[in-house]
Structure 1
Amino acid sequence: MAKQKIYWICQFFGWTLLILVEYLAYVLEDGFDPDALYLAIANIFLGITLTHLYRLMIRRWNWVRLPFIQLAPRVLFSVFVLAVIMTVVNMPFDWQIIPDKFIAEPWPVIGYILSWGKAMLAWVLSYTVYHYVEQTRNAEIEKILLKTSIRETEAKVLRSQLNPHFVFNALNSIRALVYENPDKAQHSITQLSNLLRNSLLADRRKTVELREEIKTVEDYLALEKVRYEDRLTSHIELDGRTLFWQVPPMMLQTLVENAIKHGVSKAVRGGFIVVTSAIEADRLHITIRNTGVLGNKTASGGFGLENTSQRLELLYGPDAHFQIVQEDDSSDTPVVRADIIIPAQSEGLFRRNLKVMSDKR
């Protein structure tokens, strides 16, 4: 039922019940009087009119947005004004209908104001408190939605884009192949086109299947092999159960790109990159091992990969895990390992939150 309809039902039912109870008490004590009945009916509509005007006033001036210390005196003053109006309207008629009551009452005006003040206070407090609580709740919801929107914007900003230096180097490598190996050059152009397309689509999709992300990684590695030739070797080994697991788009490509840029390219004899995936304890584990030396062995940001950590946190919360460690630096071929862990329950929670956000839009 609409709030507006509920409001008017409460208005008519509440004021009718209040006035009729007082009228029945009068009838039981003094008997039926048509003038008293007409006055009771008039009071019902007067009470509805005055309280509705109060409603329009606080909505127009947004009283419910005020702090409590500013709202309370306004509410009390409004109750007093409404009680005075009801007193001024009722006293002349009651003087004609029940003059004996005024003789017995030394301070009738105060009694009237207090009597009507209680009724008005009950209505005003009920309405104001309800909308004050509702406004506070809506403000919290808006704050949450704003925070969600900010996080969504941050996630879009943090989604990886192809390094322009890589594109430049890839085009130079392809240019060298045009005369030497046209077929391979044509194939490389197709791979670069796939990379560019996936990079452009990255800000439109929150997650992609791991198998799709791996295709991007394979295209990237193929283009880099054109440049590094025998100095770069790679191997990808995936658990079949992980192929359809949802992961952030272009994330693995970013890690592989950093592995080549900061590891393989700096090794005199080149190096290797190995990408593996597995499911352990209902969690997706992705590992990237590569030749290299980690500058800061205690921080994941050694390769400037805060991007990956932030994206995982924005999408999956604190349950997701990312780190880069020096696996072996004692041998002639030091190895750096990057670990990514995405819990299954975080994936499901993300999908439900994504659906809620889409429905709100």
Structure 2
Amino acid sequence: MSKQRIYWFCQIVGWTLLILTEFVIYWIDEGFEVNMFYLSIANIVLGISLTNVYRIMIQRWNWVRLPFYKLAPRVLVSVLVLALIMTLINFPFDQELIVNPQLHDLSAFMANMASWVKTMLAWILSYTAYHYVERTRDAEIEKILLKTSIRETEARVLRSQLNPHFMFNALNSIRALVYENPQKAQQGITQLSNILRNSLLADRRKTVDLREEIKTVDDYLALEKVRYEDRLRSLIDVDPRAMYWQVPPMMLQTLVENAIKHGVSKEVGGGFVELHAHVEPTAQGRDELHILIRNTGTLGDREASGGFGLKNTLQRLDLLYGPDAHFQIAQEAQGVVLADVHIPQQSDTVFKRETLHDVQ
């Protein structure tokens, strides 16, 4: 049922029950009076009409958007005005239909108005409170949607970031291979195109399979080895159960790039980069992906440079998973830096794993 129908149903049923209840009480005490019955019908129509006018006013002037200290006096004045109108119309008829000398003085008029004040106050407070709460709820929903939109925009920007220095270095390395080793140069172009393609697709996807990220890291390390040759040693160790785990696109590539730029490249003799990924249970009984990236380097150098991959990773994990994901970087040992990432399980991971099992 629509809100419009609910409103009119409550209006008609509410006023009818209220007025007819008073008429039945009068009927029991004084007997049936056809004029009193007609007056009751007129009061039903009048009550519906007046309160509907109030509804039109509150909608047209957007009273529910006002702060409480401005809304309260308007509601109070509306109650008094509507009650006064009902009293002015009903009081003369009450004097004629009800034989009671006490109904002809000011105190009787005020008592009649007080009765209508209570009736109008109950209706107006109910209606206004409902719309005030609904408006507040809608405002909160709009705020959440806006915040979500902003967070999604931030996440899209972060996903699309790719260090331009890497692009220049990779192209220079491939150029040097064109004459020395054409086959390896062709392979390098293919690897670079894979990285670029994944970077472009990252703008369209919130998460990707870990296996896709590992392939990107493989291509990246292969290009960097052309540049660093024997100065760069790498190892990738991934739990097969983690291959379809959903991770932020290009996240591992930026962390590995950060490890080489701020670690391996600063060492005269080069260094190593290791990537380990495995699934482990948490204290809450849920599985999570645990990623470790070790590399040669000193954490102080990385912090001083701002750490492109570090801020990127922190922001993206927070945007996607909130407090359920964790990321930290520390000096594990002298000359060895450790980046530690924990990513919670998502429904997509379970779905893909079950689908793969069904196919097999």
1:55 corresponds to: 55
User: 2-side partners of 1:127 and 1:270: how far apart?
Assistant: 74
Uncovered stretches (5+) of structure 1, i.e. residues with no partner? 352-361
User: 2-side partners of 1:122 and 1:349: how far apart?
Assistant: 51
Q: How does 1:233-252 map to 2 (within 5 A)?
A: 233-252=233-252
- Give the C-alpha shift of residue 234 in structure 1: 1.4
8 Å CA contact retained: 1:300, 1:306: no
Aligned residue for 2:269, secondary structure, equals: coil
User: 2-side partners of 1:125 and 1:245: how far apart?
Assistant: 53
Q: Report the RMSD for the aligned CA atoms in angstroms.
A: 2.3
Q: Which amino acid in structure 2 is aligned with residue 295 of structure 1?
A: G
Evaluate the alpha carbon distance shift between residue 32 and residue 163 of structure 1 in structure 2; reply closer, same or farther with a 3 A threshold. Answer: same
Q: How does 1:124-163 map to 2 (within 5 A)?
A: 124-159=124-159, 161-163=161-163
2:342 corresponds to: 341
Q: Which amino acid in structure 2 is aligned with residue 343 of structure 1?
A: P
2:302 counterpart of 1:292:
no
Uncovered stretches (5+) of structure 2, i.e. residues with no partner? 282-286, 351-360
Seq. identity, %: 68
Q: Which amino acid in structure 1 is aligned with residue 80 of structure 2?
A: F
Evaluate the alpha carbon distance shift between residue 160 and residue 273 of structure 1 in structure 2; reply closer, same or farther with a 3 A threshold. Answer: farther
2:50 counterpart of 1:85:
no
- Give the C-alpha shift of residue 243 in structure 1: 0.6
Q: Which amino acid in structure 1 is aligned with residue 342 of structure 2?
A: I
- Give the C-alpha shift of residue 147 in structure 1: 2.5
- Give the C-alpha shift of residue 140 in structure 1: 2.4
8 Å CA contact retained: 1:12, 1:48: yes
User: 1-side partners of 2:115 and 2:331: how far apart?
Assistant: 81
Q: Which amino acid in structure 2 is aligned with residue 101 of structure 1?
A: N
Q: How does 1:65-84 map to 2 (within 5 A)?
A: 65-84=65-84
User: 2-side partners of 1:301 and 1:210: how far apart?
Assistant: 28
2:100 corresponds to: 101
- Give the C-alpha shift of residue 134 in structure 1: 1.9
Aligned residue for 2:161, secondary structure, equals: coil
Q: Which amino acid in structure 2 is aligned with residue 106 of structure 1?
A: D
Evaluate the alpha carbon distance shift between residue 104 and residue 11 of structure 1 in structure 2; reply closer, same or farther with a 3 A threshold. Answer: closer
Aligned residue for 1:204, secondary structure, equals: coil
Deviations 1:262-314 (A, max 9, x none): 111111122221111112222211111112122169x7986341221121122
Evaluate the alpha carbon distance shift between residue 286 and residue 318 of structure 1 in structure 2; reply closer, same or farther with a 3 A threshold. Answer: same
Aligned residue for 2:53, secondary structure, equals: helix
- Give the C-alpha shift of residue 128 in structure 1: 1.1
TM-score normalised to structure 1 length: 0.88
8 Å CA contact retained: 2:296, 2:336: yes
User: 1-side partners of 2:349 and 2:113: how far apart?
Assistant: 58
1:308 to 313, 331, 336: 313
User: 2-side partners of 1:53 and 1:300: how far apart?
Assistant: 67
1:215 corresponds to: 215
Q: How does 1:272-287 map to 2 (within 5 A)?
A: 272-281=272-281, 282-287=287-292
Deviations 1:306-334 (A, max 9, x none): 221121122112232212222222xxxx2
- Give the C-alpha shift of residue 56 in structure 1: 1.2
User: 1-side partners of 2:140 and 2:214: how far apart?
Assistant: 41
Ranges of 4+ aligned residues in structure 1 off by more than 4 Å? 102-105, 299-302, 348-351
1:22 corresponds to: 22
- Give the C-alpha shift of residue 84 in structure 1: 1.1
Kindly tell me the number of residue pairs found equivalent between the two proteins.
343
Deviates more, 1:131-140 or 1:101-110: 101-110
8 Å CA contact retained: 2:244, 2:349: no
1:180 corresponds to: 180
Deviations 1:7-49 (A, max 9, x none): 1111000000111111122222332222222221111111001
